[in-house]
Structure 1
Amino acid sequence: MQRYFIDNPTFRLLAPPVYGTLVYIQVLLAFDSAGELLENYFSQEQLLCILLTFLVFELNRLIIKILQQKSHVWKGRLRKQIISQLFFSLLSTALLVSSILSLYFSQLVGLSVFTVELLIFNLIFTITSVLYNLLYISVLYLGKENETKLREEQELKQKIEHELHRFKNEINPDFFYTSMESLISLLHKDLDLADEFIGKLAAVYRYVLSNRQTELVEINKELSIVNEFLNLLNHKYQNAISLKVQGKGQYWKQVKVIPGTLISLIECIVETTIVNTIQPLVIELYRDSDNYFVMETPLNDRLHLVVERKACINELQRAYSLYSNEPIVKMKAYDKLLIKIPEIKLIEEDNLTTK
C-alpha cells in the first residue's frame, strides 16, 4: 500500500510544534497582543495551540484513513469522496476545537464568556483542516497521475518490445518462395550448386532463428550473413546486386544493430527498385558525420511497390526506438536513395576497467 506524508512519523511529530507556534503568533496578532510573545515566549497558550494542531492533524488523518477503507462505497466517484472528506473533516475539526477550548477556558482559565476566542480558533483550524486535506488531495492526484504515466510508459515499452520481437522473428515468405524456385531450378542443372545454395539458405535462416532472443549483434556479424543473403538473391537477379562497405573494420566492429536490420533493409530496397543486368543495384554502406551509418543505392523505383514492404522502415523505426531516440531517416537526394540508421554503441568492459 502506498504511504503518503500523513503517515510519515517525522511529519506527524515535527509539523504540530512548528504549525502550532505559527497559530499562536496569529492568535496574538488577532488580539493585538504580539508584545506578549517576547515577554513570555513559551506560554501555556502556545502549548494549547500545539496540542490543538496535533489533535486536528491526527483527526484529519484518521478521517482520511477511514474513508480510504470505505472507498468501495463511492464506486470510483472521486469527487463525492473528496467532498465528503472535506465535510467530515471540517465538522469534526470544529467539534474538536470547540470542545478543547471550552474545557480550557472554563476549567483552567476560569472564563465563562469566550465567544470571540472560540470563533478565531475555529476559523484558524478549519482553514488548517482545509489546507491539510488539499495538500493530501494534491499529493494523491499527483501520485495517480504519475502511476498513469508509468503505466503508459510500461505499456509503450511492452509494445515496442513486442514490435522488436516480431521484427527479429519475421521471415519474408516471398524470399522463401523465391529461394525455393531457385533451388528447384538448380536441382535440374547442377547438384553441387544446389547443395551450396541449400547451405547458404540454411545459414541465413539459422542466423534469424538463433538470434530471436538476442537484442543486439555486431554489425560485422550481420555483414557476414548479408553476403550469404546477397548470394541467394543473385541467383534470381543474375549477380546484379552488390554491396560495398566503406570505412575501417574497427568502426564496424564497435557498432551494434538489431539482428536482421541489414537483411530487412536490403529486402526493402530490392523489392522497391528495378534490378537487372542493365541496371545493376550497387548498395553502399558507410558512416556519415552525424553518428549514423548510411545505406545508399541508386534511385530507380518500381512503378508498382509491394504493399507489405512499404512499411518496412516504420517497422524498423519502432524496433530501434527501444535503443535510440534518433529517428531512422529515409531520403532521396538527386539520383540516390539514402537510408540512415542511428549508431548503437556499447562501452566495452575492457575500457571500463582501465578507467
Structure 2
Amino acid sequence: MNKLFIHNPLFRILSPLCSGILVYLLILLINNNVGQLKEEFLGQELYVCIGLAYLIQEYSRLSLFFFERIKQPRSFALKIVLQALLSVIVCISLVSVDMYAYFKWVLGFTPSFSELAVFNIIFSIFTLIYFILYLSHQFLYKTNTQKMEQELQARDAVEKDFHQFKRGINPTLLFESLESLIVLMKKDKDAAELLVDHFSAVYRYILSKKTRELLPLGEELKILNEFLLLFGHLPYRKLRMGKIAVMDTLIVPGAVLFSIEQIIRSTIASETELVLELKEEEDHFLLCYEPQEKIVYSLDDDKLKELADTYRYYTEKEVGVGEADPLKYIRIPKLKIDEGSNH
C-alpha cells in the first residue's frame, strides 16, 4: 500500500490545496457570494478551507493504514462499508469542531446548523472521493496482480513445455549421432546401420512419451540398453548397468536417460567401462557410480537444473547430486499418483 499515489509527498501537498480551493468556491456558490471573488479571493475563509482539507486528507490517509491492519470484519464488502461510514463520521466531527471554533473565536458568533451542514456535506463528499480513489486503486492493483500471476503461470507452462521439447529433441545428441554416422558410413556400413537402429529406437521412445507426464520406471529401463549402445558409437566413456533394484515408482519421461547422459558427458573417456548401479531409498532412487570426472565439466546440481525444475511440478523433494565416498550419485524423487496434487 505504500506505493499508492495518495502517499506521494507531492500529492499530499497539492491535493488538499486544490480541494480546499474547490470547497471555498462551492460554499461561495451555495451562499450566492461569488461576487466576493472580485473583492478578495485570498481571504481568511479560503485559508480555513485549505487547512481543513489538509487535516481531513491526512486523517483519511492514516485511516487506510489502520483498516489495512484490522482483520475484522472478514467480509470485504462489509469492511468497505464500515470504513466509508467511519471516515465520514470522523470527517463530520472534525469539520464541526473546527468550524465551530473558527466561528466562535475568530468571527465572534455561533454558526447556524445550515452553515455547519454545508461545510460537512462538502467535506464529506471530498472524503468519499478520496476513499473511492484508494478503493479504485486497490481494485486495479488486484486485477493487475491476477493478470500478472496468470502471465507468470503461462510463462512457466511455456518454459516447461520448451524444456521438455528441448530435452526430447536433445540437439547435442542428435548432431553428435549424425556426425558419427557420417564417419561410420565411410568406414563400416554395418556399424552405421546399427547406429541408425539405436538412434531411431531412442528417439522413437523419447518422442512417443512426450505427451505423457509420468510413466513407470520400468518403461524407461527397457530403452536404456539402446541408449547406452547409441553412446557406444560416440567418443565417450562406455557405460554398462550393474545392479538394478526393483522399484515401484513413476518418473518424468526421459529423467533416467537425461541423468545418465550427464554422467557420461562428465566422465573422462577411457577404455574401461563405467559401471552404474540403480539403488533405492525410501523417497528417492539413486544412480550411483565411481566418478572419474573431467576437469572442465564436472557433474553438479546446475547440470540437472532442467530436470529439477520439471520435478518441482510434481513434488517438493529435490533432484540433486551427492557423494558418499567412493561413489557419486544422482538422487531422483519417487513419484506416485496417490501422493496428492503436488506429487
Q: TM-score range by the shorter chain?
A: 0.5 to 0.7
Q: CA 1:87–1:341 in 2, change beyond 3 Å: closer, same or farther?
A: farther
Matches within 5 A, 1:71-150: 83=15, 87=19, 91=23, 115-122=111-118, 124-126=120-122, 128-150=124-146
The separation in 2 between residues aligned to 1:346 and 1:225, in whole angstroms, is: 23
Deviation of residue 230 (structure 1)? Answer: 1.4
Q: CA 1:231–1:164 in 2, change beyond 3 Å: closer, same or farther?
A: same
Q: CA 1:339–1:160 in 2, change beyond 3 Å: closer, same or farther?
A: farther
Query: Does the Cα contact within 8 Å between 1:327 and 1:342 map onto a contact in 2?
Result: yes
TM-score of the two chains, using structure 1 as the length reference = 0.54
**Residue 106 of structure 1: aligned partner:** none
Query: Does the Cα contact within 8 Å between 2:228 and 2:239 map onto a contact in 1?
Result: no
Number of residue pairs aligned between Structure 1 and Structure 2: 248
1:201-242 per-position Cα deviation (integer Å, ceiling 9, x unaligned): 112112233344443333332332233211212344575332
The separation in 2 between residues aligned to 1:214 and 1:283, in whole angstroms, is: 27
Q: CA 1:125–1:181 in 2, change beyond 3 Å: closer, same or farther?
A: same
Q: CA 1:316–1:240 in 2, change beyond 3 Å: closer, same or farther?
A: closer
> Partner of 1:305: helix, strand, or coil?
coil
1:102-158 per-position Cα deviation (integer Å, ceiling 9, x unaligned): xxxxxxxxxxx9943235445554564355344433333333333333333333323
The separation in 1 between residues aligned to 2:23 and 2:333, in whole angstroms, is: 62
Q: CA 1:336–1:231 in 2, change beyond 3 Å: closer, same or farther?
A: same
Moved more, 234-243 or 199-208: 234-243
1:268-309 per-position Cα deviation (integer Å, ceiling 9, x unaligned): 11111225343x3233334433x33333332322112289x9
> Partner of 1:231: helix, strand, or coil?
helix
Q: Is residue 295 of structure 2 the alignment partner of residue 303 of structure 1?
A: yes
**Residue 268 of structure 2: aligned partner:** 274
**Which structure has more RCO (C-alpha within 8 Å, separation ≥ 6)?**
1
Q: CA 1:204–1:238 in 2, change beyond 3 Å: closer, same or farther?
A: same
Deviation of residue 185 (structure 1)? Answer: 3.5
Q: Is residue 283 of structure 2 the alignment partner of residue 284 of structure 1?
A: no
> Structure 2, unaligned stretches of length 5 or more?
1-10, 32-108
Q: Is residue 254 of structure 2 the alignment partner of residue 256 of structure 1?
A: no
The separation in 2 between residues aligned to 1:303 and 1:155, in whole angstroms, is: 41
Query: Does the Cα contact within 8 Å between 2:237 and 2:268 map onto a contact in 1?
Result: no
Give the one of 302, 306, 310 matched to 1:319: 310
Runs of 4+ in 1 over 6 A off after TM superposition: none
Query: Does the Cα contact within 8 Å between 1:165 and 1:212 map onto a contact in 2?
Result: no
Q: CA 1:234–1:156 in 2, change beyond 3 Å: closer, same or farther?
A: same
> Partner of 1:168: helix, strand, or coil?
helix
CA RMSD of aligned residues (A): 4.4
Query: Does the Cα contact within 8 Å between 2:239 and 2:276 map onto a contact in 1?
Result: no
Query: Does the Cα contact within 8 Å between 2:237 and 2:267 map onto a contact in 1?
Result: no
**Residue 223 of structure 1: aligned partner:** 221
Letter in 1 for 2:251: K
Q: Is residue 337 of structure 2 the alignment partner of residue 337 of structure 1?
A: no
Query: Does the Cα contact within 8 Å between 1:242 and 1:282 map onto a contact in 2?
Result: yes
**Residue 59 of structure 1: aligned partner:** none
> Partner of 1:282: helix, strand, or coil?
strand
The separation in 2 between residues aligned to 1:150 and 1:305, in whole angstroms, is: 42
> Partner of 1:179: helix, strand, or coil?
helix
Matches within 5 A, 1:228-247: 228-236=226-234, 239-242=238-241, 244-247=243-246
1:152-177 per-position Cα deviation (integer Å, ceiling 9, x unaligned): 33333233223222222223344234
Identical counterparts, % of pairs: 23
> Structure 1, unaligned stretches of length 5 or more?
1-78, 100-112
Query: Does the Cα contact within 8 Å between 1:160 and 1:318 map onto a contact in 2?
Result: no
Matches within 5 A, 1:7-46: none
The separation in 2 between residues aligned to 1:127 and 1:271, in whole angstroms, is: 75
TM-score of the two chains, using structure 2 as the length reference = 0.56
Q: Is residue 150 of structure 2 the alignment partner of residue 157 of structure 1?
A: no
Q: Is residue 285 of structure 2 the alignment partner of residue 293 of structure 1?
A: yes
Q: CA 1:190–1:213 in 2, change beyond 3 Å: closer, same or farther?
A: same
The separation in 2 between residues aligned to 1:177 and 1:157, in whole angstroms, is: 33
